[in-house]
Amino acid sequence: MFLNPGNVLSWATFFPLAGAAAIVVLLAVRYVANLPKKLVDDGARLIALLASGLSLVAAVAAWRMYDPTDTGVQLTHHFVWIRSFNIEYFVGTDGLSISMVLLSGLISFVATIASMPWWSGAKAAEMAGMVEHDHGHGDDAHHPKHFSVRMVPGYMVMLLLLQTGMMGTFVALDMFLFYVFWEVMLLPMYFLIGVWGGPRKEYAAIKFFLYTLAGSVLMLLAIIGIYYNSAPAMLADGTLSSGHTFNIIELGRQAAKGQFLNAAPILGIAFTKLAFVALFIGFAIKIPMFPFHTWLPDAHVEAPTPISVILAGVLLKMGIYGILRFNYPILPDATAWAAHAMAVFGVINIVYAAFVCLGQKDLKKLIAYSSVSHMGFSLLGMAAMTPAGISGAVLNLFTHGIISPMLFLIVGVIYDRAHHREIEKFGGLASELPEYTAIMGLAFFASLGLPGLAGFIAEFMVFTGAFPVFTGYTIISATAVIITAAYYLWAIHRMFLGKLNPVYKGYPDLNWRERISLYPLAAIAIVLGFYPQAILGVINRSLHLIIQNIRPL
Amino acid sequence: MEHANLQVVGHAAEELGRLAVHHVSYLWLIPLFPLVGAAINALVGWKLQRMFGKKIVHRIAVTAMLAAFAVALRAFWQILHLPAEERFLQDTLWNVLTAGRVTVDLAFALDPLSMMMTLVVTGIGTLIHVFSIGYMADEPAYWRFFSYLNLFIFAMLLLVMGDNFAVMFFGWEGVGLASYLLIAFWYTDPEKAKAGMKAFVANRFGDFGFIAGLLLLFWALGGAWTPRDGGLLRNTDYQPAAELNAVAPAATAAEADALAPRVEGVKVGPTLNFRELRDQVVIEATGVKERLVHTHIWGVSILALIGILLFVGAMGKSAQLPLYVWLPDAMAGPTPVSALIHAATMVTAGVYMVARLNFLFALSPSAMGWVALIGAATAIFAASIGFFQYDIKKVLAYSTVSQLGFMFIGVGVGAYWAGTYHLLTHAFFKATLFLGSGSVILGCHHEQDMRKMGGLKKYMPITRWTYLLACIAIAGFPVMNGFYSKDEILFKAFTSRHLELFGVATPWLGPAIFVIGIVAATGTAFYMYRSYYMTFTGEYRGNSGHHDEHNVDPHAAVAAKSSALSHSVHADDGAAHAFGATSHAPAHGALADTPVHAAAVHAHGAHGHDAGHATAHDDDAAHGHGHHGGTPHESPWTMTLVLVLLAAGSFLTLFLGIPTLWSHAAPALEHWLEPALPAVEVASWRFHEVPHALEWMFQGIGVLAATVGWVAARALYKDGKSEVPARLKARFEGAWTVVYNKYYVDELYAFAVLRPAVSFARALSRFDGTVIDGLVNFVGAVGRTLGRLDAAIDKYLVDGLVNAVAQATWGIGRQMRHVQTGRIQTYLYGALGGALVVVLLNFLIS
Amino acid sequence: MISLTHFLVVGALLFTLGLVTVATRRNAVGILMGVELILNGANVNFVAFNHYVTGGVTGQVFALFVIVLAAAEAAVGLAIVLSIFQTFKTIDVRHADLMRE
């Protein structure tokens, strides 16, 4: 078999990179052989589809190879990379990351599909004789300004680079490697928003980049601090490292023995607390946690649809993932110290963002803020450090990673047709776009936590897990079920129900590209609604192991 | 014994044992059939409807219902042949989730209580599906309607058959979704869409309470809340009982089962499963009951808090004060929906939930007191609003709210079987009333205002008789079922002396509730007969006055492009329909001719899908859809048959509740439900004993109340001749206005909740955009300013120095170039000068 | 008696006159003449020192060389003057300041 447990994660990570390289080669050939632009564009698209498809295949293979009964790190690929600094190439997965690997592969592929201008509704409608072309509205994929036809090879290269960065971040088990992937992910995102984005793209891209970079700097400092306080460890080739180690698993082991408790305090503050806060802020920006969340609405509003999909579906998960990967095992005592604060921030995220959603006028902003609200559940759940809480927190990452891409795709559908996202300006769309309305209803209800759809299970588990530890906070955050229902239903009401606004007459319903990207996610949302154990059964054991080392204060 | 500390010596330890469970493997079929029906109609219904006509759509839906009903009967048959104590069928499909102590199976259970509910849901559900065939015949989105209806039945079955809280909650929210979809079925009318939204959001308030109560219950089972430092938010005083919280967290269902602690073979500790909950609470040896009774949180008995929070959930779903406001608005949905969801089944879910948890509520007289009190308050409050409504469906809606109040009185005072019995009788007579009103509305061409009806008994004899029988039932005359359930509830209310409020014993509450109940019952009789007399007696008033309420007309309201199905446009005023190659049936035009013809048309509910045929009817359709004029007509046989069956059911179910006083045996339903209602054995209270003579007297009072209400209504409204109502209205204009406008509760909510919430949201949104984001931008601006400053320093100081050197060099060179004239002679002066200097130096040095 | 000093005085006068001519004349030809004077001043010295100090013919030979050199120099100098004239249409050296550039 081509994919084996020793390399499957590396393949999943580097297939997109290979695709990006292939596109660069194609570009070089273009200048040599003077190929027509359309051929190169379509070639780049095909390569991107293929590369991220292969990455998805590898991710699914990794999911299948993963043994849920084993709580250790699996599917490792491990060798020494830079010996003088004890840096290793160390990828592997445990229950925490395996669901994220799957999610990352899936959402990347969906985003790649959503980046294609093919199967456009304009053509379909033309064939059906429903839309007159003179009116100009309808599918806008062929509009020269549309992101999916502008500088296609460059876009695809960036998209693939981003995918490599994401997958690498989830599988890296060496701090340095993690940081490299983390930064690799950042840069393409900057270009994707800044070049292919909306009207205020430069502002949004810069804001996103600087904000997250500020976080990474703190993170880097913490990583270096942890490195210099660590003890030597075995390297991949059996030799002892010189002095310190970047190996996350090994650092966790050392931490369990109290390695970092005796580290020299900095400015009179215990090293573990300082390292915790630095790492936490770095990750909290990515979550995004109140009050570091304001880059998100801007980035989402300006980013093209597939980038919003990736941003909401995968990138937001890295904050929580990073905290669970670094802070929890490496700094358990500081984690116990900070648990209460995390819960408070979680509650603020949930309730505050829900109210902000209620006041939004821009559909995409509404959904962006709903992401902020939903990530609060993860914070609350993991702060509780109960088995149900932490499983719920990670399940929430997965389910939100399924639902929010749907929501952003849905916004993209209407934006491509109407060229605006003002909720108030729509009205009665259900009469004109029944299929779209149905899938939108499904996504909205999944997001508002209707039982039988994925979102509810995670919320429920977080509530159940957090309740005995933070009773009052849990009750406060449960009020979000009311607000969430209110803002989603109100949005449905204003956009889809009532009399059809005649402006939107003759709009084509979903086209095949949109169907291909939306229906699989919808199916997963329904299946997970009734059988979340498919995920939980795999991730439970590792997660419960993570919290066992943390003794609540 | 490792769990010795849990052992409490119970005084009645032997009274109740564990539930004997019979595992069967077919229960999942009951909800499956409606689900499949819903899925088929939702996914390909519009295609099927276009290809084969509407017939195929309702055939699929009704077949699914019949199949579910048949399986339910099969289960009933099996349960009937089990000994009373072993009547518990269970069917586990798969493990939904497990993490730590939380484990949820997708599992169904049937005990006598849920069996009764299942039969009601599938049985009455089937009948209402059949009724809808006629009622919705003109609806272009026929497939959508039946899909939603089946979806509702699926969710309702999850609710009643769920083996644990989670599955029940799946159903609980599922019916909310179906209700939302069906209320907003004619979504092009913003008012109707808003009603759906209101229903869902109001229910979410209830769900919040439900979830909070559920979580509290779940964790109360696994430990104790003891007041320690009075911390309100971070609950540091939760003390998990180590032996009840398995140390090792479970990852799979099997592990969870293995890790769960047991006392004498009974699983104890946190659970979401009803049966495990019941076992550990009712079996005294586990000590769970003692622990729960003595646990307090935030100074309140935890059981009271759990009970009240769960009841908040019931308030939402069962439309009790103060969350009832959505139900009257829910009448925006098609009438069969009102009958099925908003009368017979969904709204009784709260009652069902309280009955299902009877053993918990019975332990907390405080919770019981609140349930009964809210029930009584709702009963009389809603009845009073019902007095003056003119919309026939609104009357029935408030009547439903009021009757639900009666049910909560029943389950509140501890007469669980009586409350459940009223649920059953109400399901029959209220479904009859709603469907009767639906028949009237259809017969009067979608007119809902009773002032424009009248004299319909001439035109709609079957509807009239069934409606009258249902009125008799709800008013409480002993010839129909309503008397037996209502009488039992009020009697039990009077004899309950155990209720508490705020932990204070209130023995007067029971009798007080009785009095309120009797007044409400009198009112019920009055407004129901009022609706009957206004509708069916006197002269038909529909032809006079003009009809401007086209917005209540489903045909005009639905400008439906039901999924590319019918692309033709419905003219807004309903005057002209563009019948292209669409599937819209113009049956309504034909309906106006003769009842016989109409019945024939409706019997072929899918008549109009034939495009050619439809065109032939164009003329009829054009004026038929104007809805002006035309006499009322009886509804097609599918509808009247259902009415007759339900009316018959309203009569026959009375035999389930013949009081002990008459027959010297426990009522059949009480006997049947007994195994599912262990409250009586668990509770420490008993109903007050009263002499038989007094019991007779109470029944007499009940009949008297009904008679008073009936006589008053007859005097005021029969044949529409009396001038008294108008005079009374004029005399008490102010009071009438307040009541007619439903005490302005909606306005109050809009003012006190809705607008502040939205303003708050807007404010927060602005806060986020200006302050928080402003902070970020401020940091950015500070950074930029610092950058500029740095750039200035760099430019003027650092770079300035460098430039200064260069400048100096350049300046010097500029000056020096004047020396170089290019004239040899100048240079020669230089050379001479130099030589002179050398010579002079030579002299100077030496 | 005519001593060495007399010759040297004549030589110095010649030299000084020549130098002043070179330094002050604006006419390029005049400057050339001044150069001749300087050279001849030197010649006087050569011959005088040979006769009074060293003896032999070395000084005379040098003087002859200088005369030859002066002839060659005059030829080149006049050619330059011609060139200057062709360029500047004058032989006033104040205008010939191209070397300044």
Average pLDDT over residues A441-463: 92
Higher pLDDT, A140 or B640: B640
- Cβ-Cβ contacts under 8 Å, B822 against chain C: 96-101
| Two structure tokens written together for A202 | 């430069």
Query: Least CA distance to B218: which residue of chain A?
Result: A464
- Cβ-Cβ contacts under 8 Å, A533 against chain B: 94-98, 252-253
Inspect the interface and report whether the beta carbons of C94 and B823 lie closer than 8 Å.
yes
Average pLDDT over residues A285-302: 88
B828 close contact with C: CB closer than 8 A: yes
For residue C38, the distance in angstroms to the closest alpha carbon of chain B comes to 14
- Cβ-Cβ contacts under 8 Å, B829 against chain C: 23
B218 close contact with A: CB closer than 8 A: yes
Residue A362: strand pairing partners: A422
- Residue B566 CA to residue B148 CA, distance in Å, equals 19
| Two structure tokens written together for B522 | 């009198």
Inspect the interface and report whether the beta carbons of A355 and B761 lie closer than 8 Å.
yes
C96 close contact with B: CB closer than 8 A: yes
Amino acid at B353: M
Reported as a single tens digit per residue, the pLDDT across C36-82 is 999 999 999 999 999 888 888 888 999 999 999 999 999 999 998 89
Q: Which residues of chain B have pLDDT under 50?
A: 1-14, 228-236, 545-628
The domain segmentation of chain C, as residue ranges, is 4-88
Query: Least CA distance to C96: which residue of chain B?
Result: B823
Q: Which chains touch C (3 or more CB pairs under 8 A)?
A: B
Inspect the interface and report whether the beta carbons of B832 and C23 lie closer than 8 Å.
yes
B766 close contact with A: CB closer than 8 A: yes
- Residue B244 CA to residue B572 CA, distance in Å, equals 65
What average pLDDT is seen over chain A? Answer: 87
Inspect the interface and report whether the beta carbons of B100 and A386 lie closer than 8 Å.
yes
Inspect the interface and report whether the beta carbons of C100 and B832 lie closer than 8 Å.
no
Inspect the interface and report whether the beta carbons of C23 and B821 lie closer than 8 Å.
no
Q: Are A535 and A378 in contact (CB under 8 A)?
A: no
Inspect the interface and report whether the beta carbons of B758 and A536 lie closer than 8 Å.
no
Q: What sign for the dihedral angle of Cα A449, A453, A454, A458?
A: positive
Q: Which of residues 801-820 of B touch C (CB under 8 A)?
A: 817, 820
At A13, the pLDDT band (50, 70, 90 cuts) reads very high
Its CATH class, for the domain covering C4-88, is mainly alpha
- Cβ-Cβ contacts under 8 Å, B825 against chain C: 22-24, 93
Query: How high is the pLDDT of residue C68?
Result: 93
For residue C18, the distance in angstroms to the closest alpha carbon of chain B comes to 13
Interface test with C, best of B818, B819, B820, B825 (most C CBs within 10 A): B825
Q: Are strands B238-240 and B223-225 parallel, antiparallel or unpaired?
A: antiparallel
Query: Does residue A138 carry a pLDDT above 70?
Result: no
B825 close contact with C: CB closer than 8 A: yes
- Closest C-alpha among B85, B172, B115 to residue B681: B85
- Residue A202 CA to residue A197 CA, distance in Å, equals 8
For residue B844, the distance in angstroms to the closest alpha carbon of chain C comes to 24
Query: How high is the pLDDT of residue B240?
Result: 61
Nearest residue, CB atoms, C100 vs list B820, B825, B829: B820
For residue C36, the distance in angstroms to the closest alpha carbon of chain B comes to 16
For residue B138, the distance in angstroms to the closest alpha carbon of chain A comes to 18
Inspect the interface and report whether the beta carbons of A481 and B200 lie closer than 8 Å.
no
Query: How high is the pLDDT of residue B795?
Result: 84
Query: How high is the pLDDT of residue B370?
Result: 92
For residue B821, the distance in angstroms to the closest alpha carbon of chain C comes to 5
From residue A284, alpha-carbon distances to A376, B241, B399, B630, B839 in Å are: 11, 35, 53, 69, 85
C99 close contact with B: CB closer than 8 A: yes
- Cβ-Cβ contacts under 8 Å, A452 against chain B: 170, 173-174
Nearest residue, CB atoms, B170 vs list A452, A485, A509: A452
For residue B188, the distance in angstroms to the closest alpha carbon of chain A comes to 4
Query: How high is the pLDDT of residue B619?
Result: 36
Q: How many beta-carbon contacts under 8 Å exist across B and C?
A: 28
Inspect the interface and report whether the beta carbons of C98 and B825 lie closer than 8 Å.
no
DSSP B289-309: HHHHHH-EETTEEHHHHHHHH
B821 close contact with C: CB closer than 8 A: yes
For residue B100, the distance in angstroms to the closest alpha carbon of chain A comes to 5
From residue B550, alpha-carbon distances to B284, B627, B629 in Å are: 62, 9, 14
Q: In b/e form, how buried is each residue of B503-542, taking b as 16+ CB within 10 angstroms?
A: eeebeebbebbbebbbbbbbbbbbbbbbbbbbbbbbebbb
Query: Least CA distance to C16: which residue of chain B?
Result: B832
Q: How many beta-carbon contacts under 8 Å exist across A and B?
A: 208
C93 close contact with B: CB closer than 8 A: yes
Query: Which element (helix H / strand E) includes B110?
Result: strand B102-110
Write B557-561 long-range contacts (CB < 8 A, 24+): B557/B186, B557/B188, B557/B189, B557/B192, B558/B139, B558/B140, B558/B141, B558/B186, B558/B188, B559/A431, B559/A499, B559/A500, B559/B188, B560/A431, B560/B140, B560/B141, B560/B188, B561/A431, B561/A432, B561/A434
Helices (H), A467-511: 471-478, 480-496
Nearest residue, CB atoms, B215 vs list A298, A358, A464: A464
Residue B162: strand pairing partners: B108
Residue B240: strand pairing partners: B223
Q: Which of residues 560-589 of B touch A (CB under 8 A)?
A: 560-564
- Cβ-Cβ contacts under 8 Å, A473 against chain B: 233-234
Q: What value of ipTM does the predicted structure carry?
A: 0.90
B822 close contact with C: CB closer than 8 A: yes
Q: What are phi and psi of A234, to 5 degrees?
A: -70, 135
* Residues ≥6 apart with Cβ < 8 Å to A317: A100, A103, A397, A400, A401
Interface test with C, best of B828, B829, B836 (most C CBs within 10 A): B828
Query: How high is the pLDDT of residue B623?
Result: 36
- Per the listing, tokens 């809603």 go with B382
- Closest C-alpha among A315, A461, A299, A297 to residue A389: A461
- Cβ-Cβ contacts under 8 Å, B828 against chain C: 22-23
Reported as a single tens digit per residue, the pLDDT across B258-302 is 877 787 778 888 888 998 888 888 888 888 888 888 887 777 888
**Top-confidence range, A430-434, A524-528, B283-287, B584-588:** A524-528
Inspect the interface and report whether the beta carbons of A210 and B780 lie closer than 8 Å.
yes
Q: Which of residues 42-81 of B touch A (CB under 8 A)?
A: 42
